[in-house]
Structure 1
Amino acid sequence: MTIQHRSSSDRARTVMEVSIPTLQFTDFLVFGSCGAIFLCNWVLNRRKIYFLCFGAGYVVCAGMAAWFVDFGAYGSLWSPIGWSLTGGAFWIGLRLFDGRPAVTRPMLVLFLLPTATHGVLSCAGFGPATINAGGTLAYALHEAAAALYVLRAPPARSPLRGLIALALLTIAVAICLPLLPLRETFVRLSIVGIFVVDQVTTILLTTSILALEAEKAHAAVEAMARTDGLTGALNRQGLAAKTSGGLGQAGIIVADLDHFKSINDRFGHAGGDAVLREFARRAGSLLPGDSHLARLGGEEFGIVLPGRDQRATARLAERLRHTIGSAPVLWKEATIPVTVSVGVAALAAGEVLHEALERADKALYAAKTEGRNRVRAA
């Protein structure tokens, strides 16, 4: 009995012959399935165009997976065009997801770079290997730039964004491996690795983006629970959450719109709502960035000013009173005169917030009983 030993090169070639069609088909299935998931999400909510972008990108990937058989050595012009369409759609989707403009000028340059590189090298008479290397490196640069965007974009940092960036960087590295000066055996294996990276990163990107969407939805619901729906100011729960970590010294203002019931009686609740919104807008434009404005109920608002003493708080309260009363609120064809009474107190370090609010509320009551449209300190 004769035992034949096969070289590693022969084994690798056999693996390639057997596995490439299978991997190509599984690539098609993974890309197509993830594309269908995103497109279904877009159909359910047409305003979320980023789902359409992700889905369209994966549909192009599925078409490329079914079309090309020479992975790692793309000689056709259609290959860099497909890369540009896929990478461009995905990056645009990420920017739209973040609420940013879809495209910037540097992005346009990177979108066109793989195709332009292929065309320039072809016209210059370079061989297939050089053309392939140039297009591959251009697309790798595109993916690396998209990964950098994901890491540096302003929305609150999330570990999920790190996973997305890692997946994009992995793609950039994997497609460059066949360009390295390796033995033919390892080059062939690196091409198989591209298929594996395609499938793993596609699943990782899809699950991470959907998880980010769920994270965004949860944050929106949480914000709604802590925000007054009419004015956009915090509600009592939101104010408690913002100040739960301890304030130290702080200035406290409680403001109440004067004769608000008569405004509702004369102009209706829609007119009263307009006054409440305008108060919140004017107050928000006046207050410093670290302050917290909350609607405590009805026509009463509370303001917390971290780090301010009572004197500084009283000065700001007087400016607030003047700003609110300096011009009527325009609503439909009516002008609604508005004034506000204000109570001021100081929160000492370690003191509970509601105690200072109660003192400011008593000062507000004094301002009301003394004739309204004035500031009183506790």
Structure 2
Amino acid sequence: MTELSVPTLQFTDFLVFGACAAIFLCNWLLRRQKTYFLCFGASYAVCAAMAVWFVDFGYYGSIWSPFGWSLAGATFWIGLRLFDGRPAVTAPMLGLFLLPTATHLLLTLAGGSPAAVNAGSTIAYAIHEAAAAAYVFRNSPARSPLRQLVAWALLAIALVICLPLLPLPEPSIRLSVIAIFIVDHITSILLTTAILALEAERAHAAVERMARTDALTGALNRQGLAAEAGGLTEAGIIIADLDHFKTINDRFGHAAGDAVLRDFAARASALLPEGGHLARLGGEEFGIVLPGRDHHATTYLAERLRRAVGSLPVPWKALSIPITVSIGVAMLKAGEDLTESLERADKALYDAKSAGRNRVRVA
């Protein structure tokens, strides 16, 4: 019964590998810029071909066996690195890619027995897969169960392919070969599902960032500011409004006005201390929240911002656009809602405008 089950498992292995390849390649055809989908698909396509051609699982009798499986593993690892936004290959990775084939070749040339060649090639390929698992473990966020699932699946492959090397009786060795098939099935499904889930998670995070970010300046919008700073109990609040912004739009055009807004956001961000939040509240009005900052620190930053904006005009094509900013400052009081402190800072901003603009007023 065991002998009959091996060809069946080999065929189902081919089907699973082929299905995973098709899923990734279809994703790549829909989004050609995501090269990692092509790498994952190519990896499983190689596995599907190997499942048909490489009849004797658990034994590397031909040099093409370690070459084919390490090629599949290498392509998958490259896909993981591209998914993470890293360079596709490093020098140590290249050595690991070549290790199984080189080991097989060297042991064969040295006159090693078939068992020794098989053992060396198997261990070398296991090291290759374990190194890919170690990469995922090292580069996983603290709380990312999906990334951990990918790492454990790769490690399971590294461990199970070594089972036929154990000193077991013949029936147990054949069962260990069947175990390789079963782990192939399970890990292929887990890896494909986990990677697609990670891609969906990334897309969701991007949409969430877009919903909380001002598209023009890259600063937070009102919703983003409320999400980032809504639970604070003590903070300095700054509201800044670019002076005579309508005149800039009328004189230089709206594209120039957009450039001024982006430039102001860049200057404000450069002055922002760690933990501070910058938001575009609407039009030419921006808000800054400084968690844990007192009255003096907040006022000092507001004055620095006013000077930084007024000291240097904004370059626009062959022109220079002079700008100034009026600023209102308030403090978030204990038990007060962020909206209330923003309103008080807005009143201080109104006082700054009434007093002649290009100045700081404190509520």
* TM-score exceeds 0.5: yes
> Is residue 98 of structure 2 the alignment partner of residue 112 of structure 1?
yes
> Is residue 166 of structure 2 the alignment partner of residue 174 of structure 1?
no
Task: Please report how far the alpha carbon of residue 154 of structure 1 lies from its aligned counterpart in structure 2 after TM superposition.
Answer: 5.2
Q: Which residue of 2 aligns with 1:268?
A: 253
> Is residue 309 of structure 2 the alignment partner of residue 327 of structure 1?
no
Q: SS of the counterpart of 1:324?
A: helix
**Distance of 1:303 and 1:148 partners within structure 2:** 42
Task: Please report how far the alpha carbon of residue 106 of structure 1 lies from its aligned counterpart in structure 2 after TM superposition.
Answer: 2.1
Q: Is the 8 A contact 1:329 1:335 kept in 2?
A: yes
Out of 276, 283, 290, the residue aligned to residue 268 of structure 2 is: 283
Counterparts of 1:141-290 in structure 2 under 5 Å?
Answer: 141-153=127-139, 157-244=143-230, 246-290=231-275
Structure 1, unaligned stretches of length 5 or more?
Answer: 1-13
Task: Please report how far the alpha carbon of residue 24 of structure 1 lies from its aligned counterpart in structure 2 after TM superposition.
Answer: 0.9
CA root-mean-square deviation: 1.3
**Distance of 2:159 and 2:241 partners within structure 1:** 62
Q: SS of the counterpart of 1:293?
A: strand
Q: SS of the counterpart of 1:296?
A: strand
**Distance of 2:322 and 2:329 partners within structure 1:** 23
Q: Which residue of 1 aligns with 2:341?
A: 356
Normalising by structure 1, we get a TM-score of 0.93
**Distance of 1:293 and 1:341 partners within structure 2:** 16
Deviations 1:101-137 (A, max 9, x none): 2222222222121122222222222112112111211
**Distance of 2:209 and 2:359 partners within structure 1:** 33
Normalising by structure 2, we get a TM-score of 0.97
Task: Please report how far the alpha carbon of residue 348 of structure 1 lies from its aligned counterpart in structure 2 after TM superposition.
Answer: 2.1
> Is residue 279 of structure 2 the alignment partner of residue 294 of structure 1?
yes
Out of 19, 31, 35, the residue aligned to residue 17 of structure 2 is: 31
Q: Which residue of 1 aligns with 2:355?
A: 370
**Distance of 1:355 and 1:310 partners within structure 2:** 17
**Distance of 1:157 and 1:334 partners within structure 2:** 50
Q: Is the 8 A contact 2:140 2:147 kept in 1?
A: no
Letter in structure 1 aligned against 2:307? H
Task: Please report how far the alpha carbon of residue 46 of structure 1 lies from its aligned counterpart in structure 2 after TM superposition.
Answer: 0.3
Distance 1:368 1:152, change over 3 A: same
Letter in structure 1 aligned against 2:327? V
**Distance of 1:149 and 1:371 partners within structure 2:** 59
Q: SS of the counterpart of 2:111?
A: coil
Q: SS of the counterpart of 2:326?
A: strand
Q: Is the 8 A contact 2:126 2:159 kept in 1?
A: yes
Q: Which residue of 1 aligns with 2:328?
A: 343
**Distance of 1:332 and 1:198 partners within structure 2:** 60
How many pairs does the alignment contain? 363
Task: Please report how far the alpha carbon of residue 155 of structure 1 lies from its aligned counterpart in structure 2 after TM superposition.
Answer: 5.0
Q: Is the 8 A contact 1:178 1:190 kept in 2?
A: yes
| More divergent stretch after superposition (259-268 vs 124-133) | 124-133
Q: Which residue of 1 aligns with 2:48?
A: 62
Q: SS of the counterpart of 2:253?
A: helix
**Distance of 1:53 and 1:209 partners within structure 2:** 12
Q: Is the 8 A contact 1:98 1:155 kept in 2?
A: no
Deviations 1:294-340 (A, max 9, x none): 00000000011111001001111111111122211112222111111
Deviations 1:57-105 (A, max 9, x none): 0000001000011110112111121122111111111111122222222
| More divergent stretch after superposition (190-199 vs 120-129) | 120-129
Q: SS of the counterpart of 1:264?
A: helix
Q: Which residue of 2 aligns with 1:8?
A: none
Out of 50, 65, 69, the residue aligned to residue 79 of structure 1 is: 65
Task: Please report how far the alpha carbon of residue 42 of structure 1 lies from its aligned counterpart in structure 2 after TM superposition.
Answer: 0.3
Letter in structure 1 aligned against 2:92? P
Letter in structure 2 aligned against 1:294? A
Task: Please report how far the alpha carbon of residue 152 of structure 1 lies from its aligned counterpart in structure 2 after TM superposition.
Answer: 2.4
Runs of 4+ in structure 1 over 6 Å off: none
Q: Is the 8 A contact 2:140 2:148 kept in 1?
A: no
Q: Is the 8 A contact 1:57 1:86 kept in 2?
A: yes
Q: SS of the counterpart of 1:303?
A: strand
**Distance of 1:121 and 1:288 partners within structure 2:** 60
Structure 2, unaligned stretches of length 5 or more?
Answer: none
Deviations 1:201-245 (A, max 9, x none): 10111111111111111111111111111111100001111123x
Letter in structure 2 aligned against 1:287? L
